[in-house]
Amino acid sequence: MSEKMTYREAVRLGISEAMEKDERVFMMGEDVGRYGGCYAVSMGLQEQFGPQRIIDTPLSESAFTGAGVGAALNGMRPIVEIMTVNFSLLALDQIMNNAATLLHMSGGQFNVPLVIRMATGGGKQLAAQHSHSLEGWFAHIPGLKVLTPATVQDARDMIGLALADPDPVLIFENALLYNAKGELDTAAAPLPIGKALVHREGKDLTILAYGINLFKALEAAETLSKEGIEAEVIDLRSLRPLDDAAIMASLRKTHRVMVVDEGWKSGSISAEIMARINEQAFFELDAPMGRVCSMEVPIPYAKHLEDAVIPQPDKIVAMARRLMEAI
């Protein structure tokens, strides 16, 4: 069965379905209850499930994220919402030193089935302290899983996937996607964590993207198609684990590859992906790898500056042309 809805509604549906199914699931975060979530994701959920299960927290990122770890250790399935990824830095100790390490440090005794959702990304003129894309940083950390739903389908499915996972899973929702509409197949079996998805088939080059940049890449691919260049566009879906197999398979077909990543170039997930291609499929390359990342400045406020900093379809098109020109 197929239904049209917004990304926001899809996340909400994922949460409410999970809460109906399992009484151990609860959600907490700043303004998730009475206010309805700062991006209105949890609007109505407190009326539906009560303040015991949709819990408003004080501005205490460290304590409520750590409380999520503790509750997960003690048999619950918490969903912690952190308003935006920038604020997750206040909870980094709990995410990295506790959530990601407890299983290993305890010699396999204590797993942490915690889900943390947060908004990520620029494009709303919110300036440097509300616009960054740090999912690549989190993908650096062993013990965590990092999901980046781009589509309405994944926005809903990934909540269930993350809750079913015995380990801590971070879900990064690009704030610009909340209003985006798409089709949701309610009956389809969700595509597992760690699987990338080919969104558009093509033979000339591979564009790897995730989150909102999937749509920028698809837009670029349309433009390129008019020029006779057929780009294969892949939604990575998960930054940790990365679907190496899907990446290399596409490369074996197109022999040219680029990555679109809203993180800063230096030390980014795009750098990691390029390194893996170098290690695993160097001889498949007909051209140097390319990437479109954010420019290396804190995201600025002014619209023209912000637009210039983050990846845009025209930059993706330009990079694709460059890859095609290389011998």
Partner 1 sequence: MELDITLAREFYRQMLLIRRFEEKCVELYSNQKIRGFLHLYIGEEAIATGVMQALGADDSVLSTYREHGHALARGIPAKRIMAEMYGKVEGCSRGRGGSMHLFDAETRFYGGSAIVGGGLPLAIGMALADKMMKRDRVTVAFFGDGAVAEGAFHESMNLAALWQLPVLFVCENNRYAMGTALELTESETNLANKAAAYKIVSRQVDGMDVVAVAEAAEEAIAEVRAAKRPLFLECLTYRFRAHSMFDAELYREKTEVAEWKQKDPLAVLKMRAETAGLWAQLNADELEEEVSAIVDEAVAFAENGTLESLSDLEKFVYSEEAAQ
Q: Which residues are catalytic?
A: 61, 130
The yes or no reply on residue 51 touching partner 1 (CB under 8 A) is no
Burial class (CB in 10 A: 0-12, 13-18, 19+), 124: middle
Torsion of CA 62, 173, 134, 237, to 10 degrees: 120
Candidates 2, 20, 21, 106; binder of partner 1 (CB under 8 A) is: 106
Q: Which is nearer to partner 1, 31 or 165 (CB)?
A: 165
The yes or no reply on residue 202 touching partner 1 (CB under 8 A) is no
The yes or no reply on residue 67 touching partner 1 (CB under 8 A) is yes
Q: How many CA atoms lie within 13 A of 155 on its CB side?
A: 30
Given the DSSP bridges, would you call strands 231-235 and 181-185 parallel, antiparallel or unpaired? unpaired
Counting residues that bind partner 1 (by CB under 8 A) gives 45
Region of 10-18, 38-46, 53-61, 212-220 interacting with partner 1 (CB under 8 A): 53-61
Contact 119, 175 (CB under 8 A): yes
Instruction: Name the token pair of 142.
Output: 């062993």
**How far is 255 from 240, CA to CA, in rounded Å?**
24
The yes or no reply on residue 58 touching partner 1 (CB under 8 A) is yes
Of 174, 152, 172, the closest CA to residue 162 belongs to 172
Q: Which is nearer to partner 1, 160 or 300 (CB)?
A: 160
Q: Which is nearer to partner 1, 26 or 210 (CB)?
A: 26
Sheet containing 77-84: give its strands across. 54-56, 25-29, 77-84, 115-120, 169-174, 145-147, 238-240
User: Shortest Cβ distance from residue 103 to partner 1 (Å)?
Assistant: 5
Site string for partner 1, 211-250 (x = CB under 8 A): ----------------------------------------
Candidates 5, 38, 43, 63; binder of partner 1 (CB under 8 A) is: 63
User: Shortest Cβ distance from residue 215 to partner 1 (Å)?
Assistant: 27
Neighbours of 166 (CB within 10 A): 10
Site string for partner 1, 72-91 (x = CB under 8 A): xxxxx-x-------------
| Span 139-178, contacts to partner 1 by CB under 8 A | 142-143, 145, 161, 164-167
Binding residues (CB under 8 A) for partner 1: these are: 26, 52, 57-58, 60, 62-76, 78, 93-94, 97-98, 102-111, 142-143, 145, 161, 164-167, 192-193
